[in-house]
Amino acid sequence: MSTHTGLSAETAVMELLDDWAAAVRAKDIDAITAHYAAEIVAFDAIAQLQFKGREAYREHWASCLAQCPAEMIFELHEEVIYAEDQVAFCHALIRCGGDAKDAGWPRMSGGLRRIEGEWKLVHEHHSAPFDPRSGRALLDLVP
């Protein structure tokens, strides 16, 4: 992972997000978790209320990836990044699924810090809208 020398903060964060998404598509757990700070706090849409620490989140990612097909869609869309010298915030829609027919559109937001010259996600939040009457996630909504 590069230290993003010479890049604007926004460009460096976009590079990190692109690398992260490629790692997810490759189902490369080491490359995925390399983007997280050791003290990451993650609110994922699946399984539990929160994950504290890179190792806990790594275990969750491994469990999720084990349920995914060999080929998967994982694309960032409508990315927005606000970044300064040491801190950044981003959000995006993620097209995610086994194929175009079943791909849904969860939402992602993240907080990043530059730690020893490298941008790292210190907070990540994935969610899906839901119907409050039924309690069901609305995974078929599209942008």
Q: Tell me the domains of the chain and their CATH numbers.
A: 9-127 (3.10.450.50)
Q: What is the mean pLDDT of residues 99-107?
A: 84
Q: How confident is the model at residue 45 (pLDDT cuts 50, 70, 90)?
A: confident
> ∠ CA 90-27-67 to the nearest 5 degrees?
100
Compute the distance between CA of residue 132 and CA of residue 56 in angstroms, rounded to an integer.
Answer: 29
Q: What is the mean pLDDT of residues 37-60?
A: 93
DSSP state of 86: S
Within a 13 Å sphere around the CA of 114, how many CA atoms are in the beta-carbon half?
Answer: 17
Neighbours of 130 (CB within 10 A): 13
pTM, 2 dp: 0.88
Residue 20 is encoded by which pair of tokens? 């992260």
Query: What integer pLDDT is reported at residue 1 of this predicted model?
Result: 43
